[in-house]
Amino acid sequence: RTDPAWWRNAVIYQVYVRSFADANGDGVGDLEGVRSRLTYLADLGADAIWFTPWYPSPMADGGYDVADYRDIEPRFGSLEQAERLITEARDLGLRTIVDIVPNHLSSVHPWFEEALADGPGSPARERFWFRPGRGKNGDEMPTHWVSSFSGDTWTRTVNPDGSPGEWYLHLFTPQQPDLNWSNTQVRAEHEDVLRFWFDRGVAGVRIDSAAMPVKDPLLPEVPARPGPGEHPFIDRDELHDIYRGWRAVADSYDDERILVGELWLDDARRFARYLRPDEMHTAFNFDFMTRPWEAKELRASIETTLAAHEPVHAPATWVLSNHDVTRPVTRYGRSDSSFAFAAKRFGTPSDPKLGHRRARAAALLTAALPGSLYIYQGDELGLPEVEDIPLDKLQDPMHFRSGGVDPGRDGCRVPLPWTTANTGAGEGAHAEPWLPPPAIWPGLSVEAQQHDPQSMLALYREMLRLRRSETDLENDQLSWLAASSGVIAFRRGTQFACVVNLGAEATPLPDQARLLLASGPLDGDQVPPDTAVWLHLPMVKIEE
Ligand code: TEU
C-alpha cells in the first residue's frame, strides 16, 4: 500500500525471531530464515512484520535484555542481513517494525558495566537507579516494589574492593537494570537509536513496557489504591514528554514512521492519552485479549475500546495473542475460558476442539473490527500452547522467578513447524530446536495445512484476502445489529456484516444475507455455537 495512513488498518504479523524459521540449522530461528519465508507472509496477507528484539543479547529474557541497539544478535544474523531483509520485505509490500525496550538494558550493556566499574556517585550510575540500601548496614532494599516477573526489584552490587555496595533497580530480572529517564543521555541515546533504524528503512517501532520507564524519584512504596498518575512506576505523566520527543524523530521522516505502544493500562481513558497526533500512533489493546469467551464481555470490550479511541481519532488495535500469553486455541478451550494470565497460572484442562473452533471464530471477529490487526506467529496455524515442555528445557525467567509456580511463557514460543518431514524450525535442521517441538507439530505445519481448504491457514488467508477487498472494512465505522443474547453482530459500511455466535444455541443467518466466509460449517441457515460468519447484508430500505 502506498497510503500514508497505512498503519490505520494494517495487518501486522509478529515474528519472534528465535522461533520463526531456522535457516542454518542450529536450532535457533534467524534472519535468513525470515527472508526465506517473506513470500509466505506476503501471501498470508500481512502489511507489516514486527520483529521482537533482534539485537545482541544474553537472552536472559528472550532478547528483551538488549546489549547493543546498533547490531544484530549473532545467532540471528548480521546487520547487513537485517538491512537486506528490510529492503526485500518492503519490495513485497511488507513494512518492518522493530522493538525498542526503553525501561531497561541488559546488564552486559557497556553502560551498565561502566556503572558497576565506576562506582557510587559516578555519572555512569546516574543513567540507572543506584541507591544505598536502607537499615543500619544498608542491607535492606530501597523499596518493596514487586516485579511483574514476581520477586524482588533490587539487587545489591559489590564494590570494587569486595565490600557490599549500592542496590540497583530492575522491574524485571536482575539482568535488566532499569534506566533513569530523567538523565538527558538516556533520552538522547534512544532518539539516536530510533534514527539508526529509521535510516535503515524501518517503518515503525513497538515500544516495550511503555508505561513503565519513568519512576517517581522519591521512590515511595506503591500505595494500596494509587489514583491516576500516582503509581511510582506506572503511567507517570512525564512519559508523555518522552514519547513526544520520539514522535518528533518519527515525523522528521518524509513517509510515515509509526510508534506502537505496549501499554498495559486498565483505564481506557488513561490509555488513550498516549494516542495523540504528537505522541503514539497506536497502542496494543490488551483488554480484548484478557476477556473470557462471552458475548457480553467481548462486546463490552469492543465498545469501551472504540469509545476510548474515537475522541482521539486513533484507530483501535486488535490482539488475540503475543509471545507473552497463552495461545488462543488453548485459552478459549478452557471451560472457564479464563483470562490470558490466569489461564497460564491456574490452567484448567483445555478442550482442543472447542478451543480451535473458538479461535477460528475469534480470528474472524477481530479481523472484522475497525483498526489494525496483530497476528502472533503460529496463530494462523492454530498452534496450541505447549504445556508439557520438560522442566530442564524451560527458559523463561518468569517461570524461574515465580519459584516454578508460573509455567512461564515458553509454551507459546516453541519454534514453528514448517514441514511434515521434521519437527524443527528449519528444513534439514541438524540441531534440536531451542525448545522441543511436540509430537503434533508436523500435522500442524505449513506444509500440512497449505493445500487443505479446511485448515486454519486457509481460513486466515481467505480472511485477510477479503479484508483487503471489502471496501466497507476501510473506514472506522461500526454499527451494531440487533442480536439475541450470546451473539455479537455488527455492520461495517453499507453491506458488510459479521455475526459471531458465542452462545449455546444456534442462531439464524439474518434475512437476505449472502455468506462470504464462515469460521466453521453452518447448519443450513443456522450459525452453530462458537462460529463466526462474514456476510454481505443489504441495508433494509427505510419505508417512506
Ligand atoms: O512485557 C511487558 C510486561 O509488562 C510483562 O511483564 C507482561 O506483563 C508479562 O510478560 C505477561 O506475561 C514486555 C515483553 O513483551 C516481555 O516479553 C518482556 O519480558 C518484558 O516486556 C520485559 O521487557
Q: What is the ipTM of this complex?
A: 0.95
**What pLDDT score does 334 carry?**
87
Nearest atom, ligand 1, residue 172 CA = 22
DSSP secondary structure of 350-375: B-HHHHHHHHHHHHHHHHTSSSEEEE
Long-range contacts of 184-191 (CB under 8 A, 24+ apart): 185/127, 186/127, 187/242, 187/245, 190/100, 190/102, 190/246, 191/245, 191/246, 191/249
**CA atoms of 52 and 518, how far apart (whole Å):** 32
Q: Is the CB of 410 under 6 A from ligand 1?
A: no
**CA atoms of 38 and 49, how far apart (whole Å):** 10
**What pLDDT score does 359 carry?**
98
- Reduce the DSSP state of residue 452 to 3 states and report it: coil
> What separation in Å is there between the alpha carbon of 326 and the centre of ligand 1?
13
Q: Which residues contact 224 (CB under 8 A, 6 or more apart)?
A: none
Q: Is the CB of 36 under 6 A from ligand 1?
A: no
Q: Is the CB of 235 under 6 A from ligand 1?
A: no
Question: Among 61, 38, 48, which residue's Cα sits nearest to residue 1?
Answer: 48
Going by alpha carbons, the residue nearest to atom 2 of ligand 1 is 209
**CA atoms of 436 and 391, how far apart (whole Å):** 11
Q: Is the CB of 99 under 6 A from ligand 1?
A: no
Going by alpha carbons, the residue nearest to atom 1 of ligand 1 is 209
Going by alpha carbons, the residue nearest to atom 23 of ligand 1 is 64
* Cβ–Cβ under 8 Å, residues 505 and 333: no
Nearest atom, ligand 1, residue 264 CA = 4
> What separation in Å is there between the alpha carbon of 4 and the centre of ligand 1?
30
Going by alpha carbons, the residue nearest to atom 16 of ligand 1 is 324
**What pLDDT score does 286 carry?**
93
**What pLDDT score does 130 carry?**
98
Q: What is the pLDDT along the chain (544 residues), one digit of tens a residue?
A: 456 799 999 999 999 999 999 999 999 999 999 999 999 999 999 999 999 999 999 999 999 999 999 999 999 999 999 999 999 999 999 999 999 999 999 999 999 999 999 999 999 999 999 999 999 999 999 999 998 888 899 999 998 789 999 999 999 999 999 999 999 999 999 999 999 999 999 999 999 999 999 999 999 999 999 999 999 999 999 999 999 999 999 999 999 999 999 999 989 889 999 999 999 999 999 999 989 999 999 999 999 999 999 999 999 999 999 999 999 999 999 876 555 444 454 557 889 999 999 999 999 999 999 999 999 999 999 999 999 999 999 999 999 998 888 889 999 999 999 999 865 545 555 789 999 999 999 999 999 999 999 999 999 999 999 999 999 999 889 999 999 999 999 999 999 999 999 999 999 999 999 999 999 999 999 999 999 999 999 987 655 5
Best probe residue, ligand 1, of 205, 209, 234, 235 (max atoms within 8 Å of C-beta): 209
DSSP state of 501: E
> What separation in Å is there between the alpha carbon of 323 and the centre of ligand 1?
9
- Reduce the DSSP state of residue 506 to 3 states and report it: coil
For residue 522, the number of C-alpha atoms closer than 13 Å in the C-beta half-sphere is 17
> What separation in Å is there between the alpha carbon of 12 and the centre of ligand 1?
19
Q: Is the CB of 172 under 6 A from ligand 1?
A: yes
Going by alpha carbons, the residue nearest to atom 6 of ligand 1 is 148
Map out the domains of the chain with their CATH numbers.
Answer: 6-103+184-215+227-384+393-459 (3.20.20.80), 110-169 (3.90.400.10)
**Joined grid coordinates for residue 21:** 524459521
Going by alpha carbons, the residue nearest to atom 11 of ligand 1 is 324
**Joined grid coordinates for residue 30:** 534467524
Q: Which residues contact 39 (CB under 8 A, 6 or more apart)?
A: 92
Q: Is 341 exposed, middle or buried (0-12, 13-18, 19+ CB in 10 A)?
A: middle
The strand ranges marked E within 238-341 are: 258-261, 282-283, 317-319
Q: Is 476 exposed, middle or buried (0-12, 13-18, 19+ CB in 10 A)?
A: middle
Q: Is the CB of 373 under 6 A from ligand 1?
A: no
**What pLDDT score does 1 carry?**
43
**Owner of C-alpha cell 508439557:** 388
**Joined grid coordinates for residue 37:** 519465508
Q: Is the CB of 264 under 6 A from ligand 1?
A: yes
> What separation in Å is there between the alpha carbon of 48 and the centre of ligand 1?
22
3-state DSSP of 201-252: CCCEEEECCCCCCCCCCCCCCCCCCCCCCCCCCCCCCCHHHHHHHHHHHHHC
**What pLDDT score does 347 carry?**
58
DSSP secondary structure of 474-493: SSS--EEPP--TTEEEEEET
Going by alpha carbons, the residue nearest to atom 5 of ligand 1 is 148
Going by alpha carbons, the residue nearest to atom 12 of ligand 1 is 324
**CA atoms of 212 and 227, how far apart (whole Å):** 16
Q: Is the CB of 100 under 6 A from ligand 1?
A: no
C-alpha torsion 207→209→211→212, nearest 10: -130
